[in-house]
Amino acid sequence: MSRLLAWLRRASTSVLPVALMAIFLLVSLWLLTAATENSTQFGRLHLLLVVLNILGLVILLGLIGASLLRLVQQYRRGATGSRLTARLVLIFVIMAVAPVSIVFYFSLGFVERGVDSWFDVLIDRAMDEALQLSKSALDMRMREHLRQTREIARRLGGTEDALLLFRLNELRAETGVNELVVASDSGRVIASSSSDARSIIPNLPDEVVLQQVRANDTYVALAPIEGRGLHARVAVRLAGEKERLLLALYPFPERVSRMADNVQSAYSKYKELVYLREPLKQTFSFTLFLVLLVSLFSAVWAAFYFAQRLVSPIRILAIGTRAVAAGNYQKRLPVTSNDELGSLVQSFSEMTHKISAAQQEARRSRRQVERERAYLRAVLGRLSSGVLTLDRDLTLRAVNAAASQILGANLEHATGRGLHRLEQEQPELAIFFRALRPHLEHAEVEWHEEISLNRSSGHRLLTCHGTHLPEVEGIPAGFVVVFEDVTALVQAQRDAAWGEVARRLAHEIKNPLTPIQLSAERLRRRYLQRMEPADAEVLDRATHTIVQQVEALQEMVQAFSEYAQTPRLELCDLELGKLVDEVLDLYRGNDTRVAFVLQQQTDLPRVKADPGRLRQLLHNLIRNAIDSLAGRPGGRIAISLYRRQGCVEMAIEDNGPGIPAEIFDKLFEPYATTKPRGTGLGLAVVKRIVEEHMGSLYAENTAHGARLVVRLPAVEQAGQTTSADLRATGSA
Amino acid sequence: MPEQTHSTLTPRRRPTTRAWLALLLCLFPLTGQAQGFSVRDTRTSLEDGVYRLDARLKLQLTAQPLEALKNGVPLQIALDIEVLRPRRYLWAAEVAALEQRFELRYHALTERYEVHNLNSGARHSYYSLASALQGLGRIRGLPVIDARLLDPDEHYLLNLGVRLEIDSLPVPLRMRAYLSGDWWLNSGWYSRDLRPRP
C-alpha cells in the first residue's frame, strides 16, 4: 500500500508519465467519439475504449488524490511554500473548471437539440404513409392474385390426382404464376409446378399458413424469397370431397419489388433512428462527460504540477535562507528553472558561496592568529625572564610563567587587575609594583631599573627593562616589562670577588707576618735581659702585643685561606638527624645557659653529604646562634628536620634579637657581622658548603628571633640522589 | 399505523445492504431466467463420419430487445458449440469450437420476421415472432466435428450455449444494453457427453 502511494507520489510529480497518459486518454477519447458515430471499424472497440477511458480517469484521480493528500499534509505541517501552492492550485482549478463546465453545459444542449433536429413530425408521418401506401399498393396486387388463385382453384376442382401435375403445368403457363402446388391438408405435396427449373423442392408453407387456410379457407401474404425478390403467397382450399390446398406464388415485377425493398429499408432505418434517439443522446452525453472529466482531471493535475513547479524555487530559496540563518553556508541550492525565479536562486547561491568563502578565510586567519598567539605564549612560557604587559590604564594584560616564578606569586590569575589593586592584594610585591609605577605613569619609551626585593624566602635582585608600546592598528598602546632575577648572578660575582680577596690576603699578608713575629721575638730575647727594668717593661709589652697581633692576623689569614681553598668533598649517605644530634651533644654539656631542642620527622630520608663539612656548617650555625643569644637569659635554639619536596630541610631557630636590617641583604657575604670579634666569614662558609652540596639556604626573621633554613637534596629510596651529578665545586 | 409499530419491532435489513444488492443485480444479471434463453435438449448423431448436432433451444425475448426489434433494430443471436476433452489435473482441452450467428430482423412492410443465418447466408422469413424464434431454435444436423479427429478411447464433452450478442447492437444501444439486465440473454453452457463410437 505504501509502495503504491510512493509510486503515485513519484508519478504525480514527474511530468512524462502523466503527459503520456493524458495523450493516451485524448486518443482513446477520439476513438470513442469515432465509435459513437457508429464507424464500424471502431464500433467493436467501443466497450474497451470506455473501460480504458474510465481506468485512465481513475488513475488520474489517484494521482490528483496523492497530490492533494501531500498538499494537505504540507499545509498542516506548515511546510514552506504550501500556502502559495494551495492558492495557485485553487486559482488554476477555478480557471480550468469554469470554462470547461460552461462548454460542457452548452455542448450538452447542442447534442440534445442536434439529435432532435434530425427528426420531424412531417417526416415521421411521411414515412408511415409511404409504408401504408406501399402496403395498400401491394394489397391491391395481392387481392388480384387471390382472385386469380381462386379462379385456378375453381378450374382445378374435380381434377384427378393423376392429371393434377399436367393440369397444374397447363394452368401455370396460362396464368403466369411462378409456382403452383397442390398439397394435402397436413401439408404433404401432391403435385407441384414451378417456373424455376432449379427449384425442384417447392417453397413449402409453414404450419401458420396451413392453420389459417383451415380456419379462413384463404391465405394471402407477402413473401420475400431469397434471391428472387418479393413474392405474393396465396393459399386457398380446393373445392371437392378431399381436403386439398392450392398454394400459389406470384412474383412481383422487379421494379415494384425494388421499390418495396427501398421503402422497407428506409422505413426500418428511420424507425431505428427514432428508437435510438434517446440512447444516442445518452451515448453522446456520456462521451462528452468523459471528455469533460478527462479535461477537468488533466487540468486539475496540471494545476498541481505547475503550482509545484512555480513554487519550487521559492521553497528552495526559503530552505536556503533558513540554512543561512542557521549558519550553514555550505548548502547548495538546485536551480530548477531558467526564469527570473531561477536566476534569483542562482544569485542567492552565489551570495552564500561568497559568504562561505569569506567565512572560511576569516576562520583560516583566526586559526593563524591563534597559532601565532600560541607560539608566542609558548616562547614567553619558556623564557627564563619574567614578562608583564600592561595596557595604558596600567591594567595587567599578560604574565608569563617565569614572571610568577621570579616574583613568587601566581600572577596568571591576576590579569585584568589594575596596578593599584595588585599592590594591595600582594603586599610582598608592593615594592616591585611601586618601582614600576613612575616609569609607566610617565610613559617612558625605554627604561631600566634594578629592584631589590625582600621576600620571606630571601633577598632578590631584579633587573627590569620596560618599553612603551606604540598604538598599532587599533590595538591600544601599553607597556612591556621584562625582568630577570639576577640575585644568583650578582651573588656569584661577589663570591668570586671575595674568593679572590681572600686568596690575595692570605698570600700577601701571611708571608710578612712570620718575619714580623720572628723579629719581635728576637728583639725581646736579645734586649729584654740587658735593658733597664722600666725600658724592659715597655719592650716586653710592645713585643708581646706584636706577637699577639701577628698571631691574630695569622689566624685570620688562615680563615681566609680556608674560605678560599675548599677541600674536595668526601660524600657518603648519612642520616642528618644523627649527625646533628652528635654535634649538639658537644654544646649541651658546655653551655648551660642555652637550651637545645632537636625535632625530626620520622623516616627522614638520608642525604648524600660530606660529614666533616656538614659538621663545620652546623658548628658555624650553632655558634652564630649562641653568639646572638649572648647576654640574654632563657636562650633557646631549636633545630628541626623535615622532608619537603624531595629535599631534607633543616631549620635552626633562635629566640635572639633577629637579623639586623642593615646586614640582612649581605648576610651570607664575608664580613657581614655585627659581632665585636670574628672574621665575619661564618655564614659565608655555611653558604659555600650548602652550595657545594647542591642545596640552598635562606634566612628570615620570625616573631621571636631569627630562623635559618638549609635545604639539602635527599637520597631517593632506591639509593639515588635526586641530583644525579653531585660533586664538589670547590675551587682550587 | 399498526404496520409501522410492528415494523419497529422486527429487525430490518439495512438500506445500504439493499442498495448494494440492487447494484449487484444490475451489474451481474442472472442468466437462465424463465423469460430468457435456454437449451431444451440436445442429441448427437454420427452420419458419414461427421458428428452432427440436433438441439432444441427455447428463445424468449425480454421487453427491451423485443421493443428494439419492433423498431427495426436487428438482433444477433449466437450459438456457441465447443468440444472439450477433460483432463484430470488441468483444465479441459479444446478440441473444436464453432459459432453460428443468426440475425433476427422485423420487416415492417411485409410484417414478417426474417432469420438470416450469417454463417451459411440462408434466410427464412416467418409470419410471427414466435414461429421465427421457434425456427431459429430448431437445430437439425449441424455438423460439429469430424469423427476422425476424436480418439475413440477418450471421453469428450460437448458444450452448447446460446446468447444475445450485445456487441453487434448499434453503438448507442450498446451502453444501455451492457447496463441493463433485460439485454443479458444467455443460456449459459449446457454440457453433454460425447463418446466416440468405435
Residue A577 and residue B90: Cα distance in Å, rounded? 117
Task: Please answer yes or no on whether B71 and A279 come within 8 Å at the CB atom.
Answer: no
| Least confident piece of the model among A112-126, A193-207, A499-513, B137-151 | A193-207
Nearest CA in chain A to B106: A268
Task: Please answer yes or no on whether A286 and B175 come within 8 Å at the CB atom.
Answer: yes
Residues A599 and A679 in one domain: yes
| Total number of domains in chain A | 6
Residues A146 and A268 in one domain: yes
A148 located within any domain: yes
Of chain A, the percentage scoring pLDDT greater than 90 comes to 5
Task: Please answer yes or no on whether B167 and A44 come within 8 Å at the CB atom.
Answer: yes
Chain A, 229 to 258: residues with Cβ < 8 Å from chain B are 230
The pLDDT value recorded for residue A677 is 58
Residue A105 and residue A97: Cα distance in Å, rounded? 12
Contacts of residue B154, defined as CB under 8 A and 6 or more positions apart, other chains included, come to: B85, B196
Residues A360 and A460 in one domain: no
Residue A301 and residue A15: Cα distance in Å, rounded? 10
Q: Is the dihedral of CA A616, A618, A620, A622 positive or negative?
A: negative
Alpha helices for A121-204 (secondary structure H): 121-156, 161-175
Average pLDDT over residues A565-575: 78
Facing residue for B131 by CB, picked from A44, A206, A271: A206
Residues A547 and A583 in one domain: no
pLDDT range class, residue A3, cuts 50, 70, 90: confident
Facing residue for A283 by CB, picked from B106, B122, B172: B172
Strand A635-644 with A594-600, pairing: parallel
Residues of A in contact with B173 (CB under 8 A): 276, 279
Residues A313 and A409 in one domain: no
* Segments forming the whole domain that contains residue A113: 2-117+281-322
Residues A141 and A265 in one domain: yes
Query: How far are the Cα atoms of A42, A257, A391, B98 from residue A135, in angstroms, in the given order?
Result: 38, 12, 133, 40
| Distance from the B69 Cα atom to the nearest Cα atom in chain A, whole angstroms | 9
Strand partners, B96: B83
A604-647: pLDDT as tens digits: 888 888 888 888 888 888 888 888 888 788 888 999 999 887 78
Residue A418 and residue A397: Cα distance in Å, rounded? 9
Average pLDDT over residues A464-485: 83
Residues A369 and A399 in one domain: no
> Exposed, middle or buried, A174 (CB in 10 Å: 0-12/13-18/19+)?
exposed
Residues A630 and A576 in one domain: yes
pLDDT range class, residue A11, cuts 50, 70, 90: low
B40 at interface of A, judged by CB pairs closer than 8 A: no
pLDDT range class, residue A59, cuts 50, 70, 90: confident
Residue A387 and residue A412: Cα distance in Å, rounded? 11
The pLDDT value recorded for residue A370 is 94
Query: Which CATH number characterizes residue A259's domain?
Result: 3.30.450.20
A275 vs A315 pLDDT, higher one: A275
A346 located within any domain: yes
* Segments forming the whole domain that contains residue B18: 2-194
A563 vs A493 pLDDT, higher one: A493
| Total number of domains in chain B | 1
Query: How far are the Cα atoms of A55, A100, A307, A505 from residue A63, in angstroms, in the given order?
Result: 12, 20, 15, 118
Residue A157, helix vs strand vs coil:
coil
A423-441: pLDDT as tens digits: 888 887 888 888 888 888 8
Residues A587 and A701 in one domain: yes
Amino acid code (one letter) for A678: G
Strand B138-146 with B50-59, pairing: antiparallel
